[in-house]
Amino acid sequence: MKEKKTGLLQGTLDLLVLKALALGPLHGLGVSRRIEQITDGTFKVKPGSLFPALHRMEQSGWLTSVWGESENNRRAKYYRLTKAGQRQLEAATEDWQRIALAIGSALQTT
Amino acid sequence: MPLLSRLSSLLRNLVQKAKREQELAEEIDAYLEMLIDLKIEEGLNPAEARRLALIELGGREQVKESVRDVRIGHHIETLLQDLRYGLRMLRRNPGFTAISMLTLGLGIGANAAIFSVVYGVLLQPLPYPEDDRLVILMQAYPQKGLNRWGISQANLALYRDHNQVFEKIAAYNSPGFNLTGGHNPERLQGSAVTADFFDVLGVQPRLGRAFRPEEDAPGKNRVCILSYGLWQRRFGGDPQILGQSLVLDNVPCEVVGVMPPGFAYPNRNVELWLPLGLNPQRTFGYTHTGIARLKPGVAVSEAEADTTNIFWNAAQENPVIAGATVPPPMGADMKTIVRPLRDVVIGDTKTPLLVLLGAVGLVLLIACANVANMLVARAAYRTREMALRFALGATPGRVVRQLLTESLLLAVIGGGTGVVLAWFAVRLLPRLPALERVPRIGEVSINPTVLAFIAGLVVLTGVLFGLAPALRSYRLGLETGMREGVRGSASLASSRLNRSLIAAQFALCMVLLVGAGLLLKSFQRLLSTNPGFKSENVLSMRLALPNTKYTNADQSVQFFDSLLERVRGLPGVQSAAVTSLLPFTDGRESDGFVVEGHEPTSGGLAPNAQRRVVSLGYFQTLGVPLLRGRDFLPRDRGYSTRVAIVDETLAHRYWTDGDAIGKRIRYAWSEEWMTIVGVSAGVKNSNLRETIDPHLYYPYTQTQPRQMNLTVRTLGEYTALIASIRSEVLALDGDLPVWGVQPLSDAVDRTLNHQRVTNTLLTAFALLAVLLAAVGIYGVMSLYVSNRANEFGIRLALGARPTVLMRSVLKQGLTLTLAGILAGTAIAAALTQTLAALLFEVSATDPTTFFSVPLLLVLVASLACYIPARRATRVDPLVALRYE
């Protein structure tokens, strides 16, 4: 049966995927590992959540995909940020930082 | 932007589905392989790496399914998939499909038909612009016995000039006219209206024009407007009709307009409209009805208060305007009645229609319960299919959605059948003679509102019977997986649902049968009520002497004298008479009267009695017993002592033992005393339920008779007699039409028609419900027996007696039935209060009905359970043992 990553909102996953692809195109496994890397191992995205996210964002026009060859010479689907995706990344980052600030200050007050 | 991108993705998903699937499979496989490679690099052996990788992946199909879920157009695709699958399932089970289609078709069709009548008659606006502002205006003085009192022309002028609440007000009455000239004289029902009339309603003639104000004055109103029907029927739709002259009551009237088809105010029989010839000084003749359009925002109660005020104030200054010699005293309840036109048109059809709608709704519920039971039974056979679906990655929501789609498909098929059935039924309705007096029956049709109702009903039905089995299947699939021999636990779980549905069905059947039973009993009582006269073998017909030709009393009296003499001489005639108003046909006409020695004190109120002008022989012809004194005699003429006959109701009110002979009585508007010469038995006037009003009869020879009913008691067959009577009439006056020929028993019958229709329908629905419930319990008990086949087989093998087994099965079934009956009794006792208005001399909790209906249901249930019970005894013990 599927398992959803608890505590990881869909919006947050999208943000992490966009960030992971910011530096260059990756295939599915690559995205998953990169997210694990940039969050210091906190978020290990399961394929059951990752692939729907990738496909969804592709449908919305934030990513495009192209078939290519992986490191081990296997056929793999590579995802890349589009211009719209880039803009979405910037906007989402701003939002997140604003929210984080707000919650942070809320938690600090007694 | 996202929207465009999503649209193009949608197109691609739909068109290139196979390619998408292949790519997705490749992508997931690639992921898996790369993950395995990674693990191998980390040092695991290939087999272990593969195993761990597979676990991490979480199942290929599940991942693919979760991707498919987010694909745009997924829902449409799955819907199409589910529909195709559903159709295939239905085709594979033709028996189930046929039964469901029939059951649902009948249920939904009946609901659609009844709803279209409810909508057409009760809910739909009248065919006039802003019909909610149209009101009827009448007067009332209940203390004087005048519950509904028409307005006079002077009254109309009063309201017209002083009101603050009406945009426009008009009035009308409904005289008949003899149309002569051309071929046979014909009687036409017409309506005399004030000039504003068509404006108030907001309808204009299709041809020609409406009346001009100057035409609405006495003497100037020699114009008329025809109905569309009359124009077609009598004049062949002649386009040159305008300007032609019709001779009405011997007066030529010019045709100035033709109304559009379908315009039928005040009722369907009116074919002619003439200007009233309003005379504001005319203070007598309270025979008109006011019709007005309220100013925007004015409430009906405001209008009533305003007009009552006007009436009161006028009556204080000038009592003649209220038909009195002194102003009404303080505390008199003289007032106006203002009612919305729609309410008046609908009349008393509201309760029966709503009862039928409720009943047919219950039938649909029972039908749904049957279909639900069948689906639940089938669900037990689909556990493997369910388990497979879950293994392939379906989410619970997806499975429920699929099952609901199948149910909705079934509901749509049933609904389609229902629409066809309803369409035919509705087409039939206006043709049924029993329904001809239902108001607005011609406006009933399957229109968009009705279709929307049907659509809503279909969805509701589909969800109702589909939800429980869907949830059941889903839970079964989770629990049992792919195990064999799963039927045992499945059947136990579902049987509880089955049993409650059966009990519910019987509860609803109880309600319907009790309702039908009460109405039938009430009708029985009604039929055996004595109307006060004997209607068998009495023929009646009407004629009216126009006062343009019969200008004085002598002429009119002479006419009827001659007519009666001739008619009494015809073969086949036992007796003949005339009367101004015929029971059960003409409605009522009452007037104030004064009894000598009981005069009301000045300012007091005279009581009312029904006023009838009759000939001698009337009581004999109608079979009304004369209790005291004598009938009118030929010597009671215009120049002799004025005489009268009262009925026992009036007599008992004023004299001990009702001995009124020799006492004197007069009408309130006349100074002439009449001597009472006879006391008759009481007579019911318009329907069998009413209480008897006091009657005061006087002979036509002592007044000027105008419109009279000729009544003839015949010795058997009378069809030939009708022609003879007509020719006698024409021999006396060639311009006089005779109309309204009918046996009196028909008139009485007609007042029962509505009740009859309601009863027939309700009984039909109740029987349909019982049939459905019987089929339902048969099905469930069959399932029960086949599920326990092993158990029965073993018990038989161990020596149990077959009758014991049968009894245990029957006991199961009857327990359900009794549970349903108990619940149903409680509901019925509560609901039958709504029927109280329709019941006659039967209590809403009539014990006999409440006792006999359960017996009937128990009998039906026993019969239905008998076959499954017998099957329980036929189980071959060896077969049962082998499967254990």
The per-residue pLDDT for range B544-579, each reduced to its tens digit, is 898 888 888 999 999 999 999 999 999 989 999 999
Q: Are the C-beta atoms of B766 and B509 separated by less than 8 Å?
A: yes
Tokens 């007050």 locate to: A109
Percent of chain B with pLDDT over 70: 96
Q: Are B56 and A61 a contacting pair at CB < 8 A? A: no
H/E run at residue B733 = none
Q: Are B62 and A56 a contacting pair at CB < 8 A? A: no
Asked whether the predicted pLDDT for residue B163 surpasses 80, the reply is: yes
What pLDDT does residue B567 have?
Answer: 94
Alpha-carbon distance B61 to B344, whole Å?
68
C-alpha distances (whole Å) from B420 to each of B232, B373, B446, B451 are: 33, 26, 10, 11
Q: For the purposes of burial, counting CB atoms within 10 Å of the CB of B277, is it exposed (0-12), middle (13-18) or buried (19 or more)?
A: middle
pLDDT band at B199 (very low <50, low <70, confident <90, very high): very high
Asked whether the predicted pLDDT for residue A5 surpasses 70, the reply is: no
Phi, psi (rounded to 5 degrees) for B297: 85, -5
HSE value, Cβ hemisphere, 13 Å, CA-based, for B637:
9
**Which tokens belong to B264?**
């039928």
> Which of A49, A59, A75 lies closest to B72 in CB terms?
A59
What pLDDT does residue B480 have?
Answer: 58
Provide the number of CB pairs (under 8 Å) joining chain A to chain B. 80
**How close is the nearest chain B Cα to the Cα of A100, in Å?**
26
**Does residue A52 belong to the interface with chain B, where contact is any CB pair within 8 Å?**
yes
The per-residue pLDDT for range B722-746, each reduced to its tens digit, is 999 999 998 998 888 888 899 999 8
Residues of B in contact with A28 (CB under 8 A): 27, 30-31
Asked whether the predicted pLDDT for residue A6 surpasses 50, the reply is: no
**Does residue B37 belong to the interface with chain A, where contact is any CB pair within 8 Å?**
yes
**Mean predicted confidence (pLDDT) in B696-708:** 91
Q: Are B70 and A59 a contacting pair at CB < 8 A? A: yes
What pLDDT does residue B375 have?
Answer: 85
**How close is the nearest chain A Cα to the Cα of B464, in Å?**
30
What pLDDT does residue B44 have?
Answer: 85
What pLDDT does residue B494 have?
Answer: 60
Q: Are B28 and A47 a contacting pair at CB < 8 A? A: yes
Percent of chain B with pLDDT over 90: 36
Alpha-carbon distance B1 to A85, whole Å?
10
User: Among A6-10, B23-27, B70-74, B236-240, which is the least confidently predicted range?
Assistant: A6-10
Terminal CA-to-CA distance of chain A, rounded, Å? 43
In chain B, the residue whose alpha carbon lies closest to the alpha carbon of A70 is B34
Q: Are A77 and B58 a contacting pair at CB < 8 A? A: no
Asked whether the predicted pLDDT for residue B99 surpasses 70, the reply is: yes
**Which tokens belong to B387?**
């388990």
**Does residue B34 belong to the interface with chain A, where contact is any CB pair within 8 Å?**
yes
Asked whether the predicted pLDDT for residue B621 surpasses 90, the reply is: yes
What pLDDT does residue B679 have?
Answer: 94
The per-residue pLDDT for range B760-815, each reduced to its tens digit, is 999 999 999 999 999 888 888 888 887 777 788 888 888 888 888 888 888 888 99
> Which of B33, B62, B69 lies closest to A1 in CB terms?
B62
What pLDDT does residue B349 have?
Answer: 85
The 10 Å CB-count burial string (b at 16+, else e) for B290-318 is bbbbbeeebebeebbebbbebbbebbeee
What pLDDT does residue B208 have?
Answer: 92
Asked whether the predicted pLDDT for residue B329 surpasses 60, the reply is: yes
**Does residue A10 belong to the interface with chain B, where contact is any CB pair within 8 Å?**
no
**Does residue A73 belong to the interface with chain B, where contact is any CB pair within 8 Å?**
no
**Does residue A61 belong to the interface with chain B, where contact is any CB pair within 8 Å?**
yes
What pLDDT does residue B46 have?
Answer: 87
**Mean predicted confidence (pLDDT) in B161-175:** 88
In chain A, the residue whose alpha carbon lies closest to the alpha carbon of B394 is A1
* CB atoms near residue A41 (< 10 Å): 8
Q: Which residues does residue B224 pair with via DSSP β-bridges, in sequence order?
A: B255
**Does residue A58 belong to the interface with chain B, where contact is any CB pair within 8 Å?**
yes
Asked whether the predicted pLDDT for residue B406 surpasses 50, the reply is: yes
Asked whether the predicted pLDDT for residue B393 surpasses 80, the reply is: no
Q: Are the C-beta atoms of B262 and B127 separated by less than 8 Å?
A: yes
Q: Are the C-beta atoms of B178 and B736 separated by less than 8 Å?
A: yes
**Does residue A1 belong to the interface with chain B, where contact is any CB pair within 8 Å?**
yes
**How close is the nearest chain B Cα to the Cα of A37, in Å?**
15
Alpha-carbon distance B851 to B513, whole Å?
11
Q: Which one of A2, A34, A78, A87 makes the best mutation probe of the B interface by having the most chain B beta carbons within 10 Å?
A: A2
**Does residue A47 belong to the interface with chain B, where contact is any CB pair within 8 Å?**
yes
What pLDDT does residue B58 have?
Answer: 82
Q: Are B57 and A27 a contacting pair at CB < 8 A? A: no
**Does residue A87 belong to the interface with chain B, where contact is any CB pair within 8 Å?**
no
Q: Report ipTM (2 d.p.).
A: 0.87
pTM recorded for the entire structure: 0.78
What pLDDT does residue A7 have?
Answer: 45
pLDDT band at A75 (very low <50, low <70, confident <90, very high): confident
**Does residue B14 belong to the interface with chain A, where contact is any CB pair within 8 Å?**
no
The per-residue pLDDT for range B475-507, each reduced to its tens digit, is 766 665 545 444 545 555 567 788 888 899 999
Q: Are B70 and A61 a contacting pair at CB < 8 A? A: no
**Does residue B23 belong to the interface with chain A, where contact is any CB pair within 8 Å?**
yes
Q: Are the C-beta atoms of B857 and B767 separated by less than 8 Å?
A: no
Q: Are B34 and A70 a contacting pair at CB < 8 A? A: yes
Q: Which of B561, B729, B566 is nearest to B185 (CA)?
A: B729
Residues of B in contact with A75 (CB under 8 A): 26, 30
The per-residue pLDDT for range B279-295, each reduced to its tens digit, is 888 887 788 899 999 99
> Which of B33, B38, B70 lies closest to A55 in CB terms?
B70
HSE value, Cβ hemisphere, 13 Å, CA-based, for B775:
19
**Does residue B58 belong to the interface with chain A, where contact is any CB pair within 8 Å?**
yes
B31 CB contacts (<8 Å, ≥6 apart)?
A27, A28, A29, A47, A51, A76, B57
Asked whether the predicted pLDDT for residue B884 surpasses 70, the reply is: no
Q: What is the DSSP letter of B700?
A: G
**Does residue A48 belong to the interface with chain B, where contact is any CB pair within 8 Å?**
yes
User: Among A81-90, B602-611, B641-650, which is the least confidently predicted range?
Assistant: B602-611
> Which of B23, B31, B63 lies closest to A29 in CB terms?
B31
**Which tokens belong to B714?**
């015949």
The per-residue pLDDT for range B430-454, each reduced to its tens digit, is 788 778 778 888 788 888 999 999 9
**How close is the nearest chain B Cα to the Cα of A109, in Å?**
40
Average pLDDT value over all residues in chain B:
87
Residues of B in contact with A1 (CB under 8 A): 59, 62
**Which tokens belong to B212?**
């001009």
**Which tokens belong to B325?**
């010699």
Residues of B in contact with A49 (CB under 8 A): 66
pLDDT band at B867 (very low <50, low <70, confident <90, very high): confident
**Does residue B54 belong to the interface with chain A, where contact is any CB pair within 8 Å?**
no
H helices within B119-267, ranges in order? 153-162, 197-201, 228-235
**How close is the nearest chain A Cα to the Cα of B385, in Å?**
17
Q: Are A46 and B58 a contacting pair at CB < 8 A? A: yes
